[in-house]
Structure formats: C-alpha cells, structure tokens
Amino acid sequence: MGARTHLHRSRLATLSGSAVLVLCLLVAGGAALHAQTAPQNLQALIDAAAPGATLTVAAGTYAAPLTIDKPLTLVGDGMPVFQGDGSGDVVLITAPDVTLRGFVIRGSGDSLDREDTGIKVAAPRAVIEGNQVEDALFGIYLEQAAEGVIRGNTIHGMALPISRRGDGLKIWYSPRTLVEANVMRDTRDAILWYSPESVVRRNDFADGRYGLHMMQSDQHTIEDNVFRGNSVGIYVMYGTGFTMRRNLIADNRGPSGYGIGLKEASDVLLEGNRIVNNRVGVYSDASPLRPETNVTYANNLLAFNEIGLEMLPNTQANRFHDNILLDNGQQINVAGGGDLMRNEWAVDGRG
C-alpha cells in the first residue's frame, strides 16, 4: 500500500508539473517559462507560448531552424546554442516586438541567392541583443523591419573567400534602426540601404569588404565606431544628412582602400574622426550633390595614408576647418585634374 501511494503521488507530481508548464505557456502578457533542461523541442514551446510571454532557455543545444511568429521575449541562461541544420535560416522572426537575447546562433545554409541567415527579422521593433552568431552566411538581417535594435552581438562569418561571404549585417527597408556595440569579423559587408534615420554607434567592424555601406538613405548618425582592416571603411552613396563623428578608420587597404568614400552624398558632417593608414583617407565624388547643402570637415586627423584626401574635379561646397593632414604620401589629390577652388579650405584662417 505504501509503495502504491508513493507511486500515485509521483504521478500526480509529474502531471501537476506538466499542467503548470502548460499554464505558464498559455497565460497572456508577460508570463515566464523556464526551460529547465536541454535538449527540448523548443519550437513546440514557442508555438504554445502566449503572446507577450518571456521564455528563459537553459544552457544546452537546441535544434533549429526556429520560427517566432508572435511577440515573445527569449532569454538565454548560459548562452544556449540554436544549432541549424545547414540549410536556410537558423532563426526567423515574423512577428513584431520580439526580443532575442543571449544565444549562440550557428549553422545556416550557404546560399547567397536565398540569403541564408543566422537571425532574419521581417517585422518591426525587434531587439536582437547579446547573441553570438557564427558559421552563418549572413549574420543578422532586418528586412522591412522598422525600429529594430541590434546591440551587443558578435558576428563571425563563414570561412569563405570574401566574394562568397554574406553580409554580417544587412538592414533593408528598415528605418530608425539602432546598431550599437556589435563586433563583426570575417564577413562581407555591413549595409544599410533604404533605411533612413538610423544610428550606428560604438561598433567594431573588421576584416571584411565594406566596414559600413550606406545607400539611398537619409539622416544617419555614425559615431564612435572602429572600422579596421576592411577593403573600405565607410562608403556613403546617394543620400542626405550624414553625421560621422569620432570614428577610428584605419588600415583599410583594398583595391580602392578608402577610409571614407562619399558619392553624391549631401549635407554631411565629418567631425573628430581619426583616419589613419588607409590607401586613401577620404574620397569624394560629387558630394554634396544638392546645391543648397555642403560637406563639412572639422577636427579630423588624416595621417599616414597614401593619399590623405582625394576629390574628383566636380567636388564643390566642401568646408574645412581645424583638420590635421599628417605624413600622408600625398596630402590632397585631384583625380583627373582641376583646382577644387569652389571649396572653402579654411574658416577664420583655420583649415
């Protein structure tokens, strides 16, 4: 009788635990689920969770791909691993207001055509924070996902020739994105296209093709970043309203080797940047494009570059003050000839 009673109580405890787990998953708005052991069928837990729930995931390795199709917060305890199967995306987020924090994401496919990605987001207001993305063709990809936050992630690309790599960060038609305090290595580019009013701050992007490539976007702030050892540091094309301040841009020495490249970019402020040991410190082509705007260079250091500043003859309405050009192989070069006299080379006698 005692043994039967003990067995009955054990079964009741197991059943009660299961009921509590289901209840935690189904309670609306802010409920918390703690996945205590690994591995589990994490996709089933995600599918059962109520919108607004928080899922705390224990250390371990969980099979992916995973899809998050409702507002949830997933928090890793001890950097659990989401292990992809080598095809497609590892994590796909299709719902707004999702937070993904504290995971190792690995094992995407390797198709450039499909843009196989570690973390792909297709909905607004995602927070992707404190994750480690590795062995993924594309690292983190926001596609039509406005007002996202990408903060404190480490992204390592696949061991491929640079032409075969995907982008470590791709921000596509995703306005008002914050990219902050991320580390990126051995990927192709970090790109922000058609994504106005975004901020790129305190990141460290190295050993890629373009440290940062911005195109067809307006009103960006790029500050306190390190862009080192890429083919090109920062390249800005076809936009208006760029503030670039206090960045370290060094050792970018690919075929073009621009520390900063400007093409048809208007209303630009370059202030307090250190632009060192690139093939060309700053390259400017038809910038500014809009006649009522200018490009202002203030308090920058351009040092030890093969060419400090290279401009095409059509460059005008550039204003310079309090900059230092130091020990560049050639301080200023006019590509194709011309005198660049339609620029303001000093303000109150300080150039």
| Model pLDDT, residue 28 | 42
| Model pLDDT, residue 34 | 57
Would you call 5 helix, strand, or coil by DSSP?
helix
Per residue of the chain (351 residues), what is the pLDDT tens digit?
Answer: 444 444 333 333 332 333 333 323 433 444 555 554 555 799 999 999 999 999 999 999 999 999 999 999 999 999 999 999 999 999 999 999 999 999 999 999 999 999 999 999 999 999 999 999 999 999 999 999 999 999 999 999 999 999 999 999 999 999 999 999 999 999 999 999 999 999 999 999 999 999 999 999 999 999 999 999 999 999 999 999 999 999 999 999 999 999 999 999 999 999 999 999 999 999 999 999 998 999 999 999 999 999 999 999 988 999 999 999 999 999 999 998 778 888 999 887 786
Sort 81 into a burial class: Cβ within 10 Å, 0-12 / 13-18 / 19+: buried
| Model pLDDT, residue 32 | 56
Are 118 and 145 within 8 A, CB to CB? no
| Model pLDDT, residue 35 | 52
| Model pLDDT, residue 22 | 34
Question: For the chain, what are the domain ranges?
Answer: 1-147+164-184, 209-351
> Which residues lie below 8 Å from residue 4, measured CB to CB, with a gap of 6+?
none
End-to-end CA distance of the chain: 96
| Model pLDDT, residue 9 | 39
What is the 8-class DSSP label of residue 3? H
pTM here is: 0.89
